[in-house]
Amino acid sequence: MLLVDIHAHLDHPAFKENLNEVIIKAKDVGLKAVVLNGVNSASNRRILELVKKDSILKAALGFYPVELTKMTVNYSEEISKEKIDIDQELEFMRKNKEKFVAFGEVGLDYQETEDRKIQKEGFEKIISLAEKLKKPIIVHSRKAEEDAINMLVSSNAKKVVMHCFHGRKSLVKLGLEHGFHFSIPVNIVRSHQFQMITEMANLTQLFTETDAPYLGIERNKQNEPANVVYTIKKISEIKKMEQIEVSNIIYQNWQRVFE
Ligand SMILES: [Zn+2]
């Protein structure tokens, strides 16, 4: 099978000990691309280094929306000394535009912070740079689904992938009508939300992802890119198609949107 994981965090310390095995396992099951999504300046730089390790690893640069609004302890356990300077980071992205395939992880998050203005300004800037560089944008939208979809619609964004989308049915419909893609995590095996999105969307608008090390099939068990096989299996059940057909169509989506 030809498989893709468009959203993983392999620069997370959870993979410090076993990254090589995780990559080997991913290749064994057929992964052709694993997109590492950056969450802040340090993470973006780690990812540009990490992707040199193996050709299936691809870089996406971004900033987790919450990181724009407060000083945080990010998952590398380094304390961010200052808030991200958005313009400086965008300049870094522009300079390195040949080295990454997408913008991510970017978007809005109203669960952890109420500072919506800063998040929206940052997201707006990212959307317009993504359009300028003609790269896809991988969007996080926790508790902010409506604002995120509306901003993307009104800016006429072309290559959009909604990651782990928890918005209601009417918002999924709106996104699909505008040609947005939805990426389905492995917890589709138990999540009605992602089963619903899969039923609603044409396969040409779906992607597979893990958000590894998060969102595993079993709680508390480290997720990894090889687990996309479970997503393919579940999608094929819902669509009543062979797994190989499903994976081929999603791989074609990858080529059309990311390559
Ligand atoms: Zn993520």
Total domain count, the chain: 1
Confidence of residue 74 (pLDDT cuts 50, 70, 90): low
Dist. CA 105 → ligand 1 center (Å):
6
Q: Which CATH number fits the domain that encloses residue 237?
A: 3.20.20.140
The pLDDT value given to residue 231: 98
Q: Pick 75 or 250 by higher pLDDT.
A: 250
Section 132-137 average pLDDT: 97
Dihedral angle of Cα 95, 59, 140, 75, to the nearest 10 degrees: -100
Dist. CA 9 → ligand 1 center (Å):
7
Q: Residue 79's CB: how many other CB atoms inside 10 A?
A: 9
Dist. CA 37 → ligand 1 center (Å):
7
Section 9-15 average pLDDT: 95
Dist. CA 36 → ligand 1 center (Å):
9
The pLDDT value given to residue 71: 52
Dist. CA 161 → ligand 1 center (Å):
13
Dist. CA 15 → ligand 1 center (Å):
15
Dist. CA 58 → ligand 1 center (Å):
15
Q: Which two tokens stand for residue 257?
A: 């949107």
The pLDDT value given to residue 92: 95
Q: Which two tokens stand for residue 162?
A: 């909604």
Which residue range(s) make up the domain with 234? 3-258
Section 43-55 average pLDDT: 96
Dist. CA 85 → ligand 1 center (Å):
21
The pLDDT value given to residue 64: 86
171-180 pLDDT per residue, tens: 999 999 999 9
Beta strand spans in the chain (E): 3-8, 31-37, 57-61, 102-107, 137-140, 160-163, 181-184, 206-208
Given a cut of 90, whether residue 212 has pLDDT beyond it is yes
Dist. CA 75 → ligand 1 center (Å):
12
Confidence of residue 227 (pLDDT cuts 50, 70, 90): very high
Dist. CA 40 → ligand 1 center (Å):
12
pLDDT mean across residues, the chain: 93
What secondary structure does DSSP assign to 149-211, as a single string? HHHHHHTT-SSEEEES----HHHHHHHHHTT-EEEE-GGGGT-HHHHHHHHHS-GGGEEE---
Dihedral angle of Cα 79, 82, 86, 91, to the nearest 10 degrees: -80
| Predicted model pTM | 0.94
Dist. CA 209 → ligand 1 center (Å):
10
Dist. CA 106 → ligand 1 center (Å):
9
Dist. CA 43 → ligand 1 center (Å):
12
Confidence of residue 218 (pLDDT cuts 50, 70, 90): confident
- Residues whose Cβ atom is located within 5 A of ion ligand 1: 105, 211
Dist. CA 250 → ligand 1 center (Å):
20
Percent with pLDDT over 90 in the chain? 83
Given a cut of 70, whether residue 204 has pLDDT beyond it is yes
Dist. CA 148 → ligand 1 center (Å):
16
The pLDDT value given to residue 68: 78
Q: Under DSSP, is residue 248 helix (H, G, I), strand (E, B) or coil?
A: helix
75-113 pLDDT per residue, tens: 555 555 556 778 989 999 999 999 999 999 999 999 877
Dist. CA 104 → ligand 1 center (Å):
8
